[in-house]
Amino acid sequence: MILSPQEQLSQSALASLQAQRLTWTVRHAYDHVPFYRRLLDGAGRKPREGMRPEDVRDLPFTRKQDLRDQYPFGLFAVDRKDVARIHASSGTRGKPTVVGYTKGDLAVWAECCARALALAGAEPGDLLHNAYGYGLFTGGLGLHQGAEFLGLTVVPASGGATQRQVQLLTDFGADGISCTPSYLLNIADAIEAAGVPRSALRLRYAVLGAEPWTEEMRRQIEERLGVDAVDIYGLSEVIGPGVACECREEKHGLHLMEDHFLVEVLDPQSGEPVEDGEVGELVFTSLTKEAFPLIRYRSGDLASIDRTPCSCGRSTARMSRIKGRTDDMLIIRGVNVFPSEIEAVLLRQPDIAPHYQLVVYRVRNLDVLEVRAELTAEFVQRHRVDSEVARALAARVVEAVRGEIGVGVEVQLLAPHSVPRSEGKAVRVQDLRNA
């Protein structure tokens, strides 16, 4: 196992490193990015010497919209000629978000991704099959340079052409693979369809991210491919993959690269810090980035943080898996509710199909959250929709949801195909309170 000294710093050594780097970052952003100068002046927060990590709370937030407004290069803090590489989001919801890296930034990013690979169990000399997409997306090149940094042999397979992926994996004898978890399940299907026996594969670990996934998917992947599957987290605005990654030893929380990123977990409504262990929005401040410094960026990703020591020997804080997005959050009678929490309850009921909708409305100024879910065809063949058995099931769902989110709900169990189907992204929530 390879541990970097930066992952074993004492609390006080880490805090003093973060303090020094935060002071530098605020000064650097203020001096070189007109947007940050206006933002900090507007909040009455000019750069000053001797900042402590907790002083970050006095600084104003940066949001996704600010990044879009500064399209393409408005947030760069160095001359364009000193930007060694540019990446960008796909821009499916508007203008893409463009980010830049100096040579120094690329080196930091490579080190973060190298640490992530080491967290998964990679060792110098291993062969890594990198099936993340190459291009403007940060996944492919991010892991690629991390693998080179760690001394691995990289196969830049990129995504697609799954048959060929199977062939390369077996012929080259890859020790590790990096890609999205859903794509690795596709590859596992293709391996089985091609009749390749498990003994023909040498895979020991899989570094999976760029989309939400579950413990159930981890169990399937690990069983089918005989690997340790770990979750890697990152977003292009912050640097790309390698902001945090699970360790193979625990697979319980993703170790944050705290020497490069200052992480806060805030209540998405009030902007106040939540307790360790409580879910809130992850807010990032970069500590070492030259081309694209970032001050208190509201990621929209919801997770909790755990600062207890880990058995792997790293002292860095761990974030939970992403629990959802702030864009999806509902406030029901003052309680923050995430559709994913209710979905988790529904998916545990074998008689309920994975088609549901959450409808919120008001009765006499009181919020009502109604869960509309379809019964399975098998259930309806055995019992009627309005049967005693169905009513008992609905009552159990009410209790299970209350146990999960702490709020009472109404549950309507419907016949198959009652919930409207969507062509693209499913519309899970209808909030009629302001309608």
CB of 5 to Zn ion, least distance (A): 16
Q: Find out whether 371 and 339 touch, Cβ atoms under 8 Å.
A: no
For residue 427 the two structure tokens come to 């519309």
Cβ 312 to Zn ion shortest distance, Å: 3
What are the beta bridge partners of residue 362?
A: 367
Amino acid at 61: F
CA 49 – CA 247 distance, rounded (Å): 36
Calculate helix-pair angle for 388-405, 339-347, nearest 10 degrees.
140
Pairing verdict, β 153-155 and 127-130: parallel
Q: Cβ 222 to Zn ion, closest distance in Å? A: 17
Nearer to Zn ion, 262 or 310 (CB): 310
**What gap in Å lies between CA 286 and CA 243, rounded to an integer?**
10
Instruction: Report long-range pairs for 190-199 (Cβ below 8 Å, ≥24 apart).
Output: 190/162, 190/163, 190/165, 190/166, 191/166, 191/225, 192/224, 194/163, 194/166, 196/166, 196/170, 198/225, 198/226
Sign of the alpha-carbon dihedral angle for 237, 240, 241, 244: negative
The residues that touch Zn ion, with contacts defined as CB under 5 A, are 247, 250, 310, 312
141 vs 254, beta carbon nearer Zn ion = 254
Give the separation between CA 96 and CA 118, rounded to whole angstroms.
31
Q: Which is nearer to Zn ion, 97 or 316 (CB)?
A: 316
Structure tokens at 347: 């998916």
Q: How far is the CB of 120 from Zn ion (least distance, A)?
A: 11
Min CB(255)–Zn ion separation in Å: 6
Q: Smallest gap, in angstroms, from Cβ of residue 85 to Zn ion?
A: 30
Which is closer to Zn ion, CB of 303 or CB of 373? 303
Q: Which is nearer to Zn ion, 311 or 434 (CB)?
A: 311
d(CA 265, CA 376): 39
Q: How far is the CB of 276 from Zn ion (least distance, A)?
A: 16
Identity of the residue, 106 or 119, whose beta carbon is nearer to Zn ion in the bound complex = 119
In terms of CB distance, is 250 or 306 closer to Zn ion? 250
